[in-house]
């Protein structure tokens, strides 16, 4: 079992899109995958066709685990669009305050995930901030994957993330950076190329995925329809890019 957080402090950079379509890509190759939504905005949950705010979400199990009640994360497991998902709900926004005084609050998710050894990969979709939920995700993870849009401001967000990442490493020594994935990429845009070059200068080459996810409206349309991109239309650039990303992702574990 490998646990990978998909994180960046910036919103709208393709975290949720990457979580869903990487999970679908892995599943299509016969891997056993679990998606965990720890963003109170519940975009991942909703993007897989769960439209109403559900009662049994990650929030319930986090609370029970935090307050010593008997619980299992699989109590709230659902199948959405063919994928195993631990859904989020809007009330997860309250978890921050509720868990603030709990002893060992950074390790709650990690304890919940530990028994799930039957999965090959667990992908955690993080909120766009360093909240207690993001810390819980990172403390549970073996790796962090950072999607980013190739623009100047997102690059600033990445630097700030990496500073916090150093602090998280004190809580979870095994966590490593799996790499950056450039999203909404357009080779014709000078800014996109510049940011890629700057990243390549700042980090070692193998930290930047060779696959770039191109701008492709089909990715947004698929999400709106509650589907992954392969189910929606496997002939789109989005499907091609996420299929390539899946192969590159897997090659890092060989
Ligand atoms: N490569 C892409 N091309 C076009 N639209 C995209 C792409 N990736 C994501 N989107 C769209 O951009 C919006 C933000 O993406 P999302 O994955 O939700 O970002 P985050 O989770 O980082 O906030 C969504 O509407 C999504 O459908
Ligand atoms: Mg998101």
> How far from the centroid of its chain's Cα atoms is residue 171's Cα?
20
Q: Is the pTM higher than 0.75?
A: yes
| Residue indicated by tokens 């005084």 | 101
Pick from 10, 11, 14 the residue to mutate for probing ligand 1's pocket: most ligand atoms within 8 Å of its CB. Answer: 14
Which ligand is in closest contact with the Cα of 226? Answer: 1
Q: Give the residue numbers spanning the domain of 157.
A: 2-251
- What are the DSSP E strand ranges found in 150-219? 176-183
Is residue 127 within 8 Å of 41, Cβ to Cβ? Answer: yes
> What residues are paired with 208 via a beta bridge?
180
pLDDT over threshold 90, residue 151 = no
Protein residue with its CA nearest to atom 3 in ligand 1: 215
CATH of the domain at 141: 3.40.50.300
| 226 CB near ligand 1 (under 6 Å) | no
Q: How many domains is the chain built from?
A: 1
**Interval 88-140: pLDDT, tens:** 999 999 998 999 899 999 999 999 999 999 999 999 999 998 899 999 999 99
Tell me how far the alpha carbon of residue 90 lies from the centroid of ligand 2, in angstroms. 13
**Interval 24-73: pLDDT, tens:** 999 999 999 999 999 999 999 999 999 877 889 999 999 999 999 999 99
Concatenating the DSSP letter of every residue in 232-252 gives: H-TTSHHHHHHHHHHHHHHHT
């Amino acid at each position: 079992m490998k646990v990978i957080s998909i994180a960046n402090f910036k919103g709208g950079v393709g975290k949720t899109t990457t979580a869903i379509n990487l999970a679908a890509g892995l599943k299509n190759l016969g891997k056993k995958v679990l998606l965990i939504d720890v963003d109170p905005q519940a975009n991942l949950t909703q993007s897989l066709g769960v439209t109403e705010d559900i009662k049994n979400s990650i929030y319930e199990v986090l609370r029970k685990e935090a307050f010593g009640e008997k619980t299992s994360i699989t109590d709230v497991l659902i199948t959405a669009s063919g994928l195993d998902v631990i859904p989020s709900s809007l009330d997860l926004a309250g978890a921050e305050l509720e868990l603030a005084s709990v002893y060992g609050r950074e390790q709650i998710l990690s304890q919940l995930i530990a028994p799930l050894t039957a999965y090959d990969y667990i992908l955690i979709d993080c909120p766009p901030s360093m909240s207690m939920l993001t810390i819980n995700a990172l403390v549970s993870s073996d790796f962090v994957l950072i999607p980013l849009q190739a623009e100047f401001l997102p690059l600033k967000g990445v630097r700030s993330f990496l500073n916090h990442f150093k602090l998280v490493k004190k809580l979870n020594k095994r966590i490593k950076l799996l790499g950056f994935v450039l999203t909404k990429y357009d080779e014709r845009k000078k800014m996109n190329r510049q940011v890629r070059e700057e990243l390549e200068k700042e980090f070692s080459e193998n930290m930047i995925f060779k696959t770039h996810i191109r701008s492709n409206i089909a990715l947004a349309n698929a999400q709106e329809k509650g589907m992954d991109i392969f189910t929606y239309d496997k002939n789109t650039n989005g499907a091609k890019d996420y299929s390539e990303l899946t192969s590159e992702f897997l090659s890092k574990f060989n």
